[in-house]
């Protein structure tokens, strides 16, 4: 037994090993033979790998910007999901006639799941900003099948990449075209609304305010001059009227009583007064009364004088009358002109006052129009770039996948790793052998040398009788 109270040296361990070598050799041989059996019976699996290079666009990005902005990892994940779909894998299984034995025992779902387990896409870090690569690996019991499936999957990845890039470019182009059409219609509607607003409020627009102020000042100056001309014409009218009245009212003498007073008035006024006096006298006296007879005679004389004297035949009066007519027409014209000027001043004042309100409304309309215009110009530029990117993808001038190392039929199996299995079997056999020696030594309670006795009992050994082997034994 191994005594923990005793110290062992190399010779002690060697003696233990020689004494228990059978417990070491048997586990070692058994475990190693088991590993050899596992390595021999484990089905061989072969892995074929295709290296695909991600080539940058042939046209510089400064000239044509691609609409595919997602990274290589994101796009590979998207393509992998598409390729790993049930429909695509079933098509590959049917085309290459995979799993002939499993097809009899498993349903389609299980076959697709099994194929997914055998597919592996390795995406290492990109070697540079514009170039990257990835590997498509497939594991199969048949090395020819492994190579065929790996090459088929690589072609599917290339086709799907071109398809997705073209679809994304076409979708982006169509989306921008629809947005551009909608924005153009909106821009035209806003432009028409803005033009209608300017036509409706022509003269009240903010940009016409300074012009309206200058025109108002000119009209006010013209109105002042017109008023001055009107006042001058009215003064002339008063002067001419006074002169005409002086000509119409010459001095006349009428006798009444012994004193005989001088009265001044027009013929019509004096004649009317005489007729009123005659009516009063006739109401008090008879027709033969001297006052009545005298007044009738004077009235008759006045009527005769009126017929003889007609002011309208006077050249001076006619000249004044013509001047009065001209002045009246001028006053009427000036009054009409003043009315028009006042109306114009009110109109321009209204325009100037309304310009503030129009400015706010115009600012809102113009801002909406300018925003839509900027959006339209931006969409137009993006739409043109999207069309160029679409042509780029259709002509396959963009970023592409290219097979640089196609899958070859593997010569050595990927699984099992025979050297690894044998090495692990050897290590396990050694461990089991050493464990067997240790266990057997622990279970043995006998003493094999004086040191064991002294370490266990605490007594010194006086004599050591060696093992005597007879000739018979």
User: Can you give the CATH number for the domain in which 336 is found?
Assistant: 1.10.287
Alpha-carbon distance 433 to 254, whole Å? 180
Residue 367: which domain range? 209-253+262-371
| 340/223 same-domain check | yes
Q: What residues pair up with 263 in beta bridges, in sequence order? A: 252
Tokens standing for residue 263: 């009265």
User: Is 112:89 a contact under the CB 8 Å cutoff?
Assistant: yes
Q: Are strands 262-264 and 251-253 parallel, antiparallel or unpaired?
A: antiparallel
Residues 164-194 pLDDT 10s: 888 888 888 888 889 999 999 999 999 998 8
Q: Are residues 358 and 292 in the same domain?
A: yes
- Establish whether the linkage from the previous residue to 169 is cis, with ω within 30° of 0: no
Q: Which two tokens stand for residue 114?
A: 């099994």
326 lies in some domain: yes
pLDDT of residue 147: 93
Residue 288 in domain: yes
Whether residue 407 is contained in a domain is answered as: no
Distance CA 441, CA 357 (A): 111
Residue 440 structure tokens: 């057997």
What is the model's pLDDT at position 212?
82
Q: Which residues contact 166 (CB under 8 A, 6 or more apart)?
A: 390, 393, 394
Residue 353 lies in a domain: yes
326 in the same domain as 268: yes
Percent of the chain with pLDDT over 90: 23
| pLDDT value of position 91 | 92
Question: Which position has the token pair 């498993």?
Answer: 106
Do 336 and 442 fall into the same domain? no
Is the Cβ–Cβ distance between 155 and 59 less than 8 Å?
Answer: no
How far is it, in rounded angstroms, from Cα 420 to Cα 362? Answer: 84
Domain boundary among 371, 386, 402: 371
Residue 91 in domain: no
| Same domain flag for 326 and 222 | yes
Shared domain check, 353 and 213: yes
Same domain, 222 and 336: yes
**Tens of pLDDT, residues 191-222:** 998 888 888 878 777 777 888 889 889 999 99
Q: What integer pLDDT is reported at residue 217 of this predicted model?
A: 92
Q: What b/e sequence results for 133-163 when a residue is b if at least 16 CB atoms lie within 10 Å of its CB, and e otherwise? A: bbbbbbbbeebebbbbbbbbbbebbbebbbe
Residue-level pLDDT at 433: 84
> What's the pLDDT score for residue 262?
36
What DSSP designation does 101 have?
T
Choose among 396, 370, 398, 385: nearest CA to 175: 385
Q: Structurally, how many domains does the chain consist of?
A: 2
Query: Which pLDDT does position 325 carry in this prediction?
Result: 92
Same domain? 362 vs 273: yes
Please tell me the predicted confidence (pLDDT) of residue 265: 47
Q: Please tell me the predicted confidence (pLDDT) of residue 359.
A: 77
Asked, for residue 471, whether it belongs to a domain, the answer is: no
Q: Identify the bridge partners of residue 53 per DSSP, sorted by sequence position.
A: 133, 402
Q: Are residues 351 and 451 both part of a single domain? A: no
**List of the chain residues with pLDDT < 70:** 1-9, 12-13, 56, 58-71, 125-131, 248-268, 305-314, 392-399, 444-473
Q: Does residue 145 form part of some domain?
A: no
């Amino acid at each position: 037994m191994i005594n923990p109270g005793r110290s062992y040296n190399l010779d002690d361990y060697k003696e233990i090993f020689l004494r228990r070598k059978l417990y070491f050799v048997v586990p070692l041989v058994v475990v190693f033979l088991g590993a050899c059996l596992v390595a021999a019976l484990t089905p061989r699996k072969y892995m074929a790998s295709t290296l695909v290079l991600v080539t940058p666009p042939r046209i510089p990005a400064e000239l044509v910007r691609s609409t595919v902005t997602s990274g290589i990892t994101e796009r590979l994940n998207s393509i992998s999901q598409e390729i790993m779909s049930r429909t695509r894998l079933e098509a590959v299984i049917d085309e290459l006639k995979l799993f002939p034995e499993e097809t009899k025992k498993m349903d389609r779902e299980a076959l697709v799941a099994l194929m997914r387990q055998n597919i592996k896409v390795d995406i290492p870090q990109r070697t540079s900003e514009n170039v990257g690569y990835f590997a498509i690996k497939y594991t199969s019991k048949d090395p020819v099948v492994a190579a065929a499936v790996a090459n088929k999957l690589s072609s599917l990845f290339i086709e799907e990449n071109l398809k997705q890039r073209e679809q994304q470019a076409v979708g982006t182009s169509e989306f921008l075209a629809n947005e551009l059409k909608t924005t153009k219609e909106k821009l035209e509607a806003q432009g028409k609304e803005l033009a209608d607003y300017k036509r409706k409020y022509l003269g009240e627009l903010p940009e016409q305010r300074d012009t309206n102020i200058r025109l108002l000042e000119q009209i006010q100056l013209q109105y002042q001059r017109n008023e001055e001309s009107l006042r001058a014409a009215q003064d002339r009218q008063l002067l001419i009227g006074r002169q005409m009245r002086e000509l119409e009212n010459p001095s006349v003498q009428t006798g009444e009583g012994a004193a005989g007073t001088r009265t001044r008035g027009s013929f019509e006024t004096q004649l009317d007064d005489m007729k009123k006096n005659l009516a009063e006298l006739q109401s008090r006296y008879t027709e033969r009364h001297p006052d009545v007879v005298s007044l009738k005679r004077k009235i008759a004389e006045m009527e005769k004088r009126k017929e003889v004297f007609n002011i309208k035949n006077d050249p001076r009066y006619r000249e004044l009358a013509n001047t009065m007519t001209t002045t009246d027409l001028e006053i009427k014209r000036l009054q009409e002109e003043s009315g028009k000027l006042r109306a114009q001043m009110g109109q321009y004042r209204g325009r100037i006052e309304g310009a503030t309100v129009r400015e706010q409304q115009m600012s809102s309309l113009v801002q909406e129009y300018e925003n839509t215009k900027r959006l339209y110009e931006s969409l137009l530029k993006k739409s043109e770039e999207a069309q160029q990117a679409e042509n780029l993808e259709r002509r396959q001038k963009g970023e592409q996948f290219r097979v640089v190392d196609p899958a070859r039929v593997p010569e050595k199996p990927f699984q099992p790793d025979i050297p690894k299995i044998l090495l692990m079997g050897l290590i396990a056999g050694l461990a089991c052998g050493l464990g067997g020696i240790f266990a057997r030594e622990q279970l043995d309670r006998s003493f094999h040398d004086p040191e064991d006795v002294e370490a266990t009992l605490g007594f010194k050994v006086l004599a050591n009788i060696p093992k005597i082997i007879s000739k018979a034994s």
